[in-house]
Amino acid sequence: MTVSRRQTLKMGAAAALAPLGALGARTSGEAAPAPGAAGKPVRLAVSTYSYWHFKTEKYPIAKVIEEAAALGFDGVEILHRQMESETPEYVNGLKRAAFRNGVSFPMLSIHQDFVSPDAAEREKDIAHTKHCIELAARLGAPAIRLNSGRWNTIKSFDDLMKVKGEEPPIAGHTEDQAFDWVKQSIEACLPAAEKAGVLLALENHWGLTTKPENLLRIYKAVNSPWLVINMDTGNFATDPYAGIEMLAPHASIVQAKTYYGGGEWYTLDLDYPRIAGILKKAGFQGWVSLEMEGKETPQTAVPKSLEVLRKAFL
């Protein structure tokens, strides 16, 4: 990324409140292409998760914003559990930092679980999702990352990763029931999403949506303009490229995994030029958000990851 583009990023700081994929590339002396213009490059973000993997003291989100801006990222995806609080002072401080550094918040990544036979438990997660929709609106983030949830018959996430998310149902229950629970729960959140103007971005996360065909089943069954797909390049139990080809035509945002220093749970050698080619062929023009999930320090692994994504996508 050239210095002139970095300067233009700072001049375009108001983009912090822009919707997913609504702004064109920003290069010195050029007007932003109209939405849908042929050849429009994707925009690159970094998830705050890249700096904190739930295992140490939380890495300050304000610091991620500053480092992301210095490296030349267009946006910062916020991990909800990494936020220090939800007070107006804290939330507004993050918005101020984003504006002053010329970056957007494309998505707030939350955790919830709709795969439960207990209606009261599902209702708690529906309420949590609605709360996070409002929080995303306060942040100026146009989307929240949504999970389907999982059976939790494998209690340890480390053990779940060993079997790549292939978890047996709760005794006496079926996957078809789980699909219905997820569909109904998402539908219960849609009015709040539409009112706030915040999209629900359903991810191929570990659990019911480990299989991309399961993710598409939910997406098509809900059939709402307020439900989109967040495709995670590292969350495929089998051939990632087959899964990416399946989801690419429907993806609105992509989380791009890297594993410098070896992955926290597993390591993949992902071919990003190939992935970029699949997405381009599918007409993808949204955000690509880096999730560096390796054990190497983010101060060295994030810049290296950014160069990989730049070479592949820009």
Residue-by-residue pLDDT tens, the chain, 314 positions: 434 444 443 334 333 334 343 323 333 333 333 333 356 789 999 999 999 999 889 999 999 999 999 999 999 999 999 999 999 999 999 999 999 999 999 999 999 999 999 999 999 999 999 999 999 999 999 999 999 998 988 888 788 877 777 788 999 999 999 999 999 999 999 999 999 999 999 999 888 998 999 999 999 999 999 999 999 999 998 899 999 999 999 999 999 999 999 999 899 999 999 999 999 999 999 999 999 999 999 999 999 999 999 999 99
Distance CA(3)–CA(313), nearest Å, equals 19
Domain-located, residue 202: yes
Q: Is residue 122 packed enough to be buried (19+ CB in 10 Å), middle (13-18) or exposed (0-12)?
A: buried
Helices (H), the chain: 3-11, 61-71, 88-101, 119-139, 157-162, 175-196, 212-222, 240-247, 272-281, 298-313
CATH code of residue 305: 3.20.20.150
**How crowded is residue 12: how many other Cβ atoms within 10 Å of its Cβ?**
17
Residue 119 is part of which domain span? 3-9+40-313
Q: Is residue 32 situated within a structural domain?
A: no
Residue 97 within any structural domain of the chain: yes
- Asked if residue 61 is part of any domain, the answer here is yes
Closest CA to 233 of 214, 251, 207, 260: 251
Total-model pTM: 0.86
Question: What is the total count of domains within the chain?
Answer: 1
Contact, 82 vs 119, CB < 8 A? no
Does any domain span residue 19? no
